[in-house]
Structure 1
Amino acid sequence: MFVLARRPASWMNWAGALADHVIVSRVPSLAPRICKELISLHRHLISTESISGNEYDVGKWLSKHLKHEGWAIETQMVNGDKSRLNILAYPGKVRNADLLISSHIDTVPPFYPYKIQSNDSETIISGRGSVDAKASVAAQIIATKKLLAEKKLKPDDVALLYVVGEEVHGDGMRAANALKLTPKTIIFGEPTEGKLATGHKGMLGFTLNAFGKAAHSGYPWLGRSANEVLVKALTALMQLSLELPKSEKYGFTTINLGKIEGGVAGNVVAQNASAQIAIRIAAGTPDEIGKRVQEVIKAATNEFKTPGHEDEEMFEIVFAGKGYAPVDIDHDVEGFGTITVNYGTDIPNLDKLDGQKRYLYGPGSILVAHSDHEAITLSDLETAVKDYEKLILHSLS
């Protein structure tokens, strides 16, 4: 492992110094100048915290960076919030180009700072977003700039769209529909292990709220425990997961109990409880699965109704949007391996035109994304630049 004897006061300066060392000490697969620019761009993106809902700083920095490079920049407020901006950038005069390249600039919490470490064989870059999806953003921009400089790509052929909110139900990409873009091809960036994704599972997210009646825990019959209502409902949901549709391509439909909370104290019968739940759909539609969810929860909680109060609400289900069914994705490009992924993307959130091609590719593994050890190798990042070049040229051929 490479270690500096003394760290400069600024972590960003230290990271930049180490990035320069990496260029000198290893043989990059890209030209040294381009590799250095790739590392610098990736570093700035990661070092600027952009947890969903707090994307302003990274959007401001990226807009300024691309504008300095001579790109035309449009920003779009998401849900009327001036601090949450989508970025549309184009190097020519045409905003509505035939090729659109896109990814997201928000990340999941918590924030982990940028780190770069080298040994004799590899350089590893870590930090929140180092894989998902700032690796894709950096590689896409460098690949596009490289092709423009080599005159293999015309300025009016391409535009970049970077959105907020992908990690929280895709409100940024849904807002981007108002931009009225009509590209013939879109290249989306997410971690796919350097392969083309042939598709990904569908998604249905919802919050389950259970309602009880507070009472002293010594006299529980005077109240109704919202926690007990919730536990019964969640038990029924986990049983339901065994019955939900599966497919040969996407495997099993799975239910994740992501966040559970309820009550105020151990000696109080809980008045309220809730759970946030995500269903990854392998087959069927969100409407079909949502209907089954409502049926099994209703049946499981009927026992809590008391005579004379049959119409009293035991629970409510708040769906996070309409959800979407499994998404098949184009992968007709020679020279790439293929992969099917279980996570969701912004692809179904952007309205699709007839005949439009959509590709999903990105460096790094989803298996480390969202974790405390999210990291990517420099060689994978460099390979992604070359692969995005191939995808861009294929899209315009």
Structure 2
Amino acid sequence: MSASRDLLATLVAFDTTSRESNLQLIEFVRDYLAGFDVPCQLVYNQERSKANLFATIGPADRPGIVLSGHTDVVPVDGQPWTVAPFQLTELGGKLYGRGTADMKGYIACVLALVPSLVQASLRLPVHIALSYDEEVGCLGVRSLLKALEQRPVKHMLCIIGEPTELKPVLGHKGKLAMRCDIHGHACHSAYAPLGVNAIEYAAELVSELGRIGQRLKAPELHDVRFDPPFSTVQTGVIGGGKALNIVPADCRFDFEVRALPSHDPRRVAQELQAYAEQQLLPRMRAVSEHSEIRFSELSAYPGLATDARSEAAELIAAFSGSRDFGTVAFGTEGGLFDAAGIPTVVCGPGSMEQGHKPDEFVSLEQLHGCDAMLQRMLLAIGN
């Protein structure tokens, strides 16, 4: 337990907010593993300012278990913290600091297990996978998964250690984030009919998104394992216009789709684009032929829907001590691992109720529980 706590203190001290580099943390983990003669592979981004890490302990010629976590955290800007966010603080059985729950607590427990893994005679390998830029669209792990595709041996299970209070999670929704740019025609507001008001056309598109969202609530589209039990659509950012007496030529808004694993979120974008092309652009171009509506993808990741009867589900049930399988509303890198052919579950210490908030914490009880879960895994795969 003290090893996990001490390692968590070290990890929290690295400011790995997504806009910053994660290399100091990655280099710490690399050197830590090297101290146990565990080699690792680093997969850098194009600028070599960030890196993923992959390490293997045990026999590499057979399928094994991947313990995966992301190293980046969300910003603390503007949040009313009462403790130093990048310094571990223990109060009342809770460990405070940015990333303690999401998800450096899990990474600390994984690293604390390394000495035992190295000393054990493992029947199956254990792999450690750390990624960057999960919080901004699950970006970094994609290059790691591409590198893993070149390896001849596939993995039997990936445990994503996002905070689930150590409850085994087999499913989450996918996400598509989109941007819509509307270009109309500016003129003096006294002659508004001679212009193409980009804000007003944006409003029509946002309203259509609302109608699409209402259709997704139809009972026949529900999956009761999720909360809410349907795919959702929402507009989160909008901006446009220069002055009240100028018909605005430009407007931009961003929207997202949180889709059930059975629903392709791109269908929403395609439906909205069809509405724009068939209903709005003809009216806009009747006034100005240069009018445009452009859509661009900001980020996307797939949902996760691991079969409760699968080997992956049986394994996490044995390790966690629970068959009370659930789902979560937030997304993870799990869908990408699953799409790469690696059966995936989500199970880690802490709660997302504390994630992304000021005074984020993980309890000592949860950290101890994660240590125990990983020890059960070790007992199951050792000779």
TM range (shorter): 0.7 to 0.9
CA offsets, 1:96-147, max 9 Å, x none?
862221111112223643342323xxx2122221111112211222234334
State the alpha-carbon separation in 2 of the partners of residues 264 and 305 from structure 1. 20
State the alpha-carbon separation in 2 of the partners of residues 210 and 391 from structure 1. 53
Structure 2 counterpart of 1:249, which letter? R
Q: How does 1:203-352 map to 2 (within 5 A)?
A: 203-217=175-189, 219-244=191-216, 245-250=221-226, 251-266=229-244, 268-282=246-260, 283-298=262-277, 301-302=280-281, 305-307=284-286, 309=288, 312-320=290-298, 323-328=301-306, 330-332=312-314, 333-334=317-318, 335-336=321-322, 337-350=324-337, 352=339
Residue 361 (structure 1) shift: 0.7
SS at match of 1:194: coil
Candidates 136, 144, 166, aligned match of 1:168: 136
Counterpart of 2:80 in structure 1 is none
**Range with greater deviation from structure 2 (140-149 or 127-136):** 140-149
State the alpha-carbon separation in 1 of the partners of residues 53 and 62 from structure 2. 14
- CA change 1:185–1:324 in 2 (3 A) is closer
Counterpart of 1:139 in structure 2 is 109
State the alpha-carbon separation in 1 of the partners of residues 189 and 330 from structure 2. 42
**Conservation of the 8 A alpha-carbon contact between 2:306 and 2:344:** no
**Conservation of the 8 A alpha-carbon contact between 2:179 and 2:254:** yes
**Conservation of the 8 A alpha-carbon contact between 1:229 and 1:314:** no
CA offsets, 1:353-372, max 9 Å, x none?
66x54222111112221222
Candidates 68, 87, 98, aligned match of 2:64: 98
Matched, 1:110 2:88: no
- CA change 1:152–1:195 in 2 (3 A) is farther
Counterpart of 2:162 in structure 1 is 190
**Conservation of the 8 A alpha-carbon contact between 2:122 and 2:381:** no
Residue 95 (structure 1) shift: 8.8
State the alpha-carbon separation in 1 of the partners of residues 133 and 62 from structure 2. 22
Candidates 362, 372, 376, aligned match of 1:386: 372
- CA change 1:48–1:268 in 2 (3 A) is farther
State the alpha-carbon separation in 2 of the partners of residues 210 and 396 from structure 1. 59
Unaligned runs of 5+ in 1: 1-34
Counterpart of 1:48 in structure 2 is 14
State the alpha-carbon separation in 1 of the partners of residues 164 and 132 from structure 2. 20
Counterpart of 1:72 in structure 2 is 39
State the alpha-carbon separation in 1 of the partners of residues 54 and 136 from structure 2. 20
Structure 2 counterpart of 1:146, which letter? S
CA offsets, 1:10-60, max 9 Å, x none?
xxxxxxxxxxxxxxxxxxxxxxxxx22211211221221112242233223
Counterpart of 1:5 in structure 2 is none
Bigger relative contact order, structure 1 or 2 (CA pairs below 8 A, ≥6 apart): 2
Unaligned runs of 5+ in 2: 78-84
Counterpart of 1:28 in structure 2 is none
Structure 1 counterpart of 2:176, which letter? L
Identity of aligned residues (%): 22
State the alpha-carbon separation in 1 of the partners of residues 350 and 180 from structure 2. 34
Residue 271 (structure 1) shift: 3.0
- CA change 1:372–1:45 in 2 (3 A) is same
State the alpha-carbon separation in 1 of the partners of residues 360 and 275 from structure 2. 37
State the alpha-carbon separation in 2 of the partners of residues 266 and 71 from structure 1. 64
Structure 2 counterpart of 1:143, which letter? L
- CA change 1:269–1:318 in 2 (3 A) is same
Structure 2 counterpart of 1:360, which letter? V
Q: What is the count of residue pairs matched by the alignment?
A: 355
SS at match of 1:57: helix
